Structure 1
Amino acid sequence: MTIEKTAIEDLVIIQPTVFEDSRGYFFEAYNQAKFLENGINYQFIQDNQSFSKRGVIRGLHLQINPFAQAKLVRVLEGEILDVAVDLRKDSPTYGQHVSVVLSAENKKQLMVPHGFAHGFSVLSETASVLYKVDQLYHKESERGIRYDDPTLAIDWRVSADEVVVSDKDLILPSFADIDWEF
């Protein structure tokens, strides 16, 4: 397992070591000891899974303190563009984002720590996404930012005529209008 740093501190890409043979492959998707060795110290308590079709954009979602969630995201089937936006006001990368292609083929994972908004777009015909969280869902702490916010200028790699977004995500505030912080 290798841990790749990104341009934003604490946001890392995890590449498992894959063992392949004539039967198929095997890899450790999560190993607490290896995560701890690399400074990734979360106690995951729930796994969530979603299935989406091409063009779906989910996000940008988060929960505020004290119910902020860290997420370990991976793709079981298909391919997504996974995006994390730094919302830590004291961070030198506040308001910046990192995007990475996660797929069943490349087996990469994105470790999204507390203090980030998270979302993804589906690049393949369909995608199944699995992510671990370290806090349970807490409706009153749920927040989000519009996926098409001009300040963030995220390229979701999906054409405008393909985009599918929930009604709930369409009414999220812009980055300039958020009134919460970490």
Structure 2
Amino acid sequence: MELRQTSIPGCCELLPDRFRDDRGSFVKTFHHGLFTELGLNTDWREEYYSVSHPRVLRGLHFQLPPHDHEKLVYCSAGGVLDVVLDLRRDSPSYGRHELFELNAERANLLYLPKGVAHGFYVTDGPATMLYKVATVYAPAHDTGIRWDSAGIPWPDADPVISQRDRSFAPLAEFVSPFTMGGAR
């Protein structure tokens, strides 16, 4: 598995080995020893997936401290434009985003540190996104940043999006509790 650093500290793209034959393909998405060696979290508390249709936008989501978490995400069917937005006040990339194409063909994964918002737009659907998270879902701490408030060049000005996601505060109004070393 190859690890590529991104412009957002602590966020990395993982490119696993993909084994193919006449039956299809096989991809290992997690290996405890390798993740430990790379300094990545190995203590996952929940795992879930979403299935979304073309033009669906989900995000930009995160959990507030003390339930903030690292996250490992990947797309096992279809394809998405995935976005990470840095919300850590003392980060050199605070308020900036980075875009990634995640899809079943590439089999790439994103490792997200605490203090970043995550979202995606379905470019090839239906798309199945899988998530491993380091804390259990805490509804009272689950929130987000409004999708159109951070200068992200989404491919659609009028995506299919939930009312909840439309109602999030814009980035300019969000008072971040996140730092590179954890919440303050």
Shift of 1:174: 0.5
Per the alignment, residue 176 of structure 1 pairs with 172
Per the alignment, residue 157 of structure 2 pairs with 160
Per the alignment, residue 69 of structure 1 pairs with 69
Partner amino acid for 1:124?
D
Tell me the TM-score normalised to structure 1 length: 0.94
Give the Cα–Cα distance (whole angstroms) in 2 for the partners of residues 138 and 107 of structure 1.
29
Give the Cα–Cα distance (whole angstroms) in 1 for the partners of residues 118 and 148 of structure 2.
13
Tell me the TM-score normalised to structure 2 length: 0.93
Shift of 1:4: 0.5
Gaps of 5+ in 1: none
Give the Cα–Cα distance (whole angstroms) in 2 for the partners of residues 94 and 138 of structure 1.
24
Q: Which runs of 4+ in 1 moved over 6 A?
A: none
Shift of 1:179: 2.2
Instruction: Say if 1:112 and 1:144 are closer, same or farther in 2 by CA, change over 3 A.
Output: same
Alignment of 1:91-106 (within 5 A): 91-106=91-106
Shift of 1:97: 0.9
Assess if the C-alpha contact under 8 Å between 2:14 and 2:110 holds in 1. yes
Deviation string, structure 1 residues 111-159 (Cα, Å, up to 9, x no partner): 111110111100013101111111111111112100001xx210122x2
Per the alignment, residue 124 of structure 1 pairs with 124
Assess if the C-alpha contact under 8 Å between 1:42 and 1:70 holds in 2. no
Deviation string, structure 1 residues 21-78 (Cα, Å, up to 9, x no partner): 2222222110111111111124111111101111111000111111002110011110
The SS at the match of 1:78 is strand
Give the Cα–Cα distance (whole angstroms) in 2 for the partners of residues 181 and 54 of structure 1.
33
Give the Cα–Cα distance (whole angstroms) in 2 for the partners of residues 82 and 57 of structure 1.
10
Give the Cα–Cα distance (whole angstroms) in 2 for the partners of residues 50 and 33 of structure 1.
27
RMSD: 1.1
Give the Cα–Cα distance (whole angstroms) in 1 for the partners of residues 94 and 176 of structure 2.
13
Per the alignment, residue 3 of structure 1 pairs with 3
The SS at the match of 2:66 is coil
Alignment of 1:18-29 (within 5 A): 18-29=18-29
Alignment length, in residue pairs?
A: 178
Give the Cα–Cα distance (whole angstroms) in 1 for the partners of residues 26 and 160 of structure 2.
34
Per the alignment, residue 36 of structure 1 pairs with 36
Identity of aligned residues (%): 38
Assess if the C-alpha contact under 8 Å between 1:69 and 1:133 holds in 2. yes
The SS at the match of 1:125 is strand
